[in-house]
Structure 1
Amino acid sequence: MSTLPVTPQPRAGSRAWLLADTPHTRTQAVWGRRYRIWLGLRKNPLAITGLFTVLVVLLISLCAPWLTSYDPGAQDLAHRLAKPSSLHWLGTDELGRDTLSRILYGGRITLGMVIIVVAIVAPVGLLIGCVAGYAGGLLDRILMRITDIFLAFPRLILALAFVAALRPGIESAILAIALTAWPPYARLARAETMQVRGTDYIAACRLTGATPARIVLRHIMPLCVPSLVVRITLDMSSIIITAASLGFLGMGAQPPSPEWGAMIATARRFLFSEWWVPLIPAVAIFVTSLAFNFLGDGLRDVLDPKEK
């Protein structure tokens, strides 16, 4: 007497559902991959430290009005260059403005610039790289030579040239950084595209009648996203430093805006007397940049198949 094969029942619990070897739905597969990424990231203490630090900086910047009672632009000349105390936890600057409130509100400006730049350059670089890698031929050579021209100049020098051609300000700084930051993403996306464009998976898409635009947008670009996320996270620190450098040189955020680079610029003459005034925004830049580097290293270990 023959018996019917018994289908094994999945274990109860959300963890078993997320770690199932054979997902039954696309939603289960997507969330399972995300959960595995989190498990891999959790094994790296530096990556978790970076993630926690980035989240804390974002949170306190967003909650700045509720974390300090001082207006970042309010001047109190009677208490100028005051040392850190219970009244002003991080002291005051040369105009008596509370340094803590300016750091918190300045995080909004600096991180806001970084987020806007990434939101611009990531899709542009991804699209250019995928189109060049999939099309090949003359279009590939033209797009890559344009990319090489931008890569030939140091990012800060090229950003300064763009800002000088426009006008100093936050908007000009964002545009200048975006115009100089996209080439590495395009190069990375092109390399990833050239690895997958000859696979059976892409050939099957062509046989089904998919147009080149659909193949690039729906099948190739999603495959390039993990590597791009790693590159973006690692590149966050350089974008922060570039934005702060433009502010320091007077080409980015303009005084009295509480941008970290501009704060260092106005306080640099007090470096050897009231050292805490320029040191505190410098520490904010250093900690935030280091946190993004830690997080990027952890994501590279998890998402890059060459690291496994």
Structure 2
Amino acid sequence: MSAVNAPSPGGWREWLMSDRPQSRRQAALGRAYGGWRTFSRNRLAMLGLAIVIALLLVALFANQLAPYSPYIGDLRTTRLLPPSAAHWFGTDDQGRDILSRIIHGSRITLFVVVLVAILAAPIGLVVGTVAGYSGGLIDAALMRITDIFLAFPRLILALAFVAALGPGIENAVIAIAITSWPPYARIARAETLTIRQADYIAAVQLMGASPWRIVLRHIMPLCVSSVIVRVTLDMAGIILTAAGLGFLGLGAQPPTPEWGAMIANGRLYVLDQWWVAAAPGAAIFLVSLAFNLLGDGLRDALDPKGVK
């Protein structure tokens, strides 16, 4: 950054919030700063962010945080023990520490969420922007395919794909990703229908840019923020879908400490040994709530009208 464009000492905030940025970098940093100010004023969004960061740290340091092995228990001495100082969340029917299994299960939850987002969001973004910019027959064909996927409940459609692919966490991720992209395509198409009428798109067309270049370089980046917000809000549904597949035995297979499978294992003891199912259920609820709060905050922060 040149000395001319650099802010004076103590003037970083004024430099970031300038109405007349002197460079693209200053403009980008200013938008990011304004978005963060809007986001940080939302206490519930900050709470959701804190829980998500805690989930990331727990998953990263699971081996150090888990007090016991998530796979090995003692049927003779530690089977179905209630919560205590030795086992904070109690033990399951195999004598395994539930807290340790929940801590290690956070890795599987993040694995599913991240992979589904990486697979589904780009597919929906490409389909939506291509359909919105192309129009005509291409738009009609892509949107009818999208409508077919939207016509089925996500869990039911995921069950069909997992049944075809076979049980397992990898196949569950693929099935959830296949069923998750249509809403992103709808959002991207709606954004593209508005953007393609802008004057700068007409200018780019007059300069001879190809349709693919216009879509990839000029339209798609403007649709990313809306898709990111929708992905964040959908992460709770992704977690619930993965837990549902695990509950039905089509997701992660035993003895993998997946939260949905843990609830399925605890349903046999829900009346007397309630903690076996309650602990993983509470973990799913807390993480799903955190992603919803985070998504609401991002929606406000990434809204150009809401950034101040």
SS at match of 1:86: coil
Give the ranges of 4+ consecutive aligned residues of structure 1 lying more than 3 Å apart after TM superposition.
7-11, 305-308
**Which residue number in structure 1 is paired with residue 208 of structure 2?**
209
SS at match of 1:91: coil
**Letter of the structure 2 residue corresponding to residue 121 of structure 1:** A
**Which residue number in structure 1 is paired with residue 144 of structure 2?**
145
Cα 1:9/1:274, change in 2 over 3 Å: closer
Deviation at 1:17, TM superposition (A): 2.8
SS at match of 2:121: helix
Deviation at 1:11, TM superposition (A): 4.5
Find out whether 1:80 has 2:79 as its counterpart. yes
Instruction: Tell me whether 61-70 or 97-106 shows the greater mean CA deviation.
Output: 61-70
Deviations 1:8-31 (A, max 9, x none): 995533333322222222222212
| Equivalent residues of 2:38, 2:306 under 8 A apart | no
1:1-308 paired onto structure 2 within 5 Å: 11-13=8-10, 14-77=12-75, 78-305=77-304
| Equivalent residues of 1:81, 1:91 under 8 A apart | yes
Deviation at 1:146, TM superposition (A): 0.5
**Letter of the structure 1 residue corresponding to residue 185 of structure 2:** A
| Equivalent residues of 1:91, 1:98 under 8 A apart | yes
**Which residue number in structure 2 is paired with residue 3 of structure 1?**
none
Deviations 1:154-182 (A, max 9, x none): 11000000111110110110011011000
In the aligned structure 2, how far is the partner of 1:25 from the partner of 1:9?
Answer: 10
**Letter of the structure 2 residue corresponding to residue 40 of structure 1:** T
| Structure 1: segments with no counterpart, 5+ residues | 1-6
SS at match of 1:71: coil
Instruction: Tell me whether 182-191 or 28-37 shows the greater mean CA deviation.
Output: 28-37
In the aligned structure 1, how far is the partner of 2:47 from the partner of 2:237?
Answer: 19
| Equivalent residues of 2:168, 2:252 under 8 A apart | yes
In the aligned structure 1, how far is the partner of 2:168 from the partner of 2:270?
Answer: 25
**Letter of the structure 2 residue corresponding to residue 92 of structure 1:** T
Deviation at 1:306, TM superposition (A): 6.2
| Structure 2: segments with no counterpart, 5+ residues | none
In the aligned structure 2, how far is the partner of 1:79 from the partner of 1:275?
Answer: 16
Instruction: Tell me whether 267-276 or 14-23 shows the greater mean CA deviation.
Output: 14-23
In the aligned structure 1, how far is the partner of 2:13 from the partner of 2:275?
Answer: 48
SS at match of 2:209: coil
In the aligned structure 2, how far is the partner of 1:307 from the partner of 1:182?
Answer: 27
Instruction: Tell me whether 51-60 or 17-26 shows the greater mean CA deviation.
Output: 17-26
**Letter of the structure 2 residue corresponding to residue 111 of structure 1:** L
In the aligned structure 2, how far is the partner of 1:219 from the partner of 1:230?
Answer: 20
In the aligned structure 1, how far is the partner of 2:306 from the partner of 2:198?
Answer: 22
Deviation at 1:69, TM superposition (A): 3.4
In the aligned structure 2, how far is the partner of 1:306 from the partner of 1:144?
Answer: 29
Give the alignment's TM-score, normalised by structure 2.
0.94
SS at match of 2:272: coil
In the aligned structure 2, how far is the partner of 1:47 from the partner of 1:21?
Answer: 27
| Equivalent residues of 1:300, 1:307 under 8 A apart | no
RMSD (Å), alpha carbons:
1.6
In the aligned structure 2, how far is the partner of 1:118 from the partner of 1:296?
Answer: 14
In the aligned structure 1, how far is the partner of 2:305 from the partner of 2:269?
Answer: 48
**Letter of the structure 1 residue corresponding to residue 54 of structure 2:** V
**Letter of the structure 2 residue corresponding to residue 216 of structure 1:** V
| Equivalent residues of 2:5, 2:22 under 8 A apart | no
Cα 1:184/1:132, change in 2 over 3 Å: same
Instruction: Tell me whether 145-154 or 11-20 shows the greater mean CA deviation.
Output: 11-20
SS at match of 1:269: helix
Deviation at 1:86, TM superposition (A): 1.9
